Amino acid sequence: MINANLVKGTWEVITIENAHNHSTVSPQKSRCFRLHKHLDEYSQRMLDLNDRAGIRMNKNFNALVVDAGGFENLDFQEKNCRNFIDKARKLRLGKGGGEALTEYFKRMRLQNDGFTYMIDVDEELRLRNVFWADARSRATYEYFGDVITFDTTYLTNRYDMPFAPFVVVNHHGQSILLGAGLLSNEDTRLKTSIQSALYDSQTCTEFEMKWGQLIQKYGLGDNAWLQGLYN
């Protein structure tokens, strides 16, 4: 324990207590501290290879757990793996890819007044998610938009990003494309917020604060499943 006072912009140490007045943390749990978390090169390589093969993150992470012989033998958690894959997917897009795609969409909009697109970027202005639809597809939605299928199982594009087509069936039984998108990550922000509250909180107080913010932000006060999870 260290006590100090801020005096005229300078910290002055008052007392230092070197002896512990409480039980120390088990050495086996030290790997849970943020300071000790480390994603080694072997794990990074396996995560990237499995992600390119279309393996979902939960199975990807579990493979590393089995390979290591248990959670206690890993120096990282699933969130560290998710953060690594998020960055890896963004890098796969290639330099200038986002700018080139934006310019292409602008040209399409000049040729088709009804063409629309949305581009989602991260804090560093790198492409994260894209959606587009043309005028004919939007008109089709007005007639046949009662039932829409949405699938993200395809990973055949050059960036290995999930391709998400929106499809309906017309009165002739034909499949019609309404729009499409490229996704860097299929996880929802709500799921990310839950994981942050559960796994990144260092104290009970911090957990309670994050959990309260999560419930309030998404209006989930009456959600029975989340209440059960909290309990």
CB atoms within 10 A of CB 10: 8
How much is the pTM? 0.43
pLDDT number for residue 90: 65
d(CA 109, CA 166): 20
d(CA 2, CA 97): 51
pLDDT number for residue 125: 62
**Contact assessment for residue 153 and residue 141, using Cβ atoms and an 8 Å cutoff:** no
* Residue that the structure tokens 């994981």 belong to: 195
pLDDT of 134 above 80: yes
pLDDT of 123 above 70: no
> What's the pLDDT tens digit per position in 89-107?
766 655 556 677 888 888 9
What is the percent of the chain with per-residue pLDDT over 70, rounded to a whole number? Answer: 80
CB hemisphere CA count around 176 (13 angstroms): 23
Structure tokens at 90: 């963004």
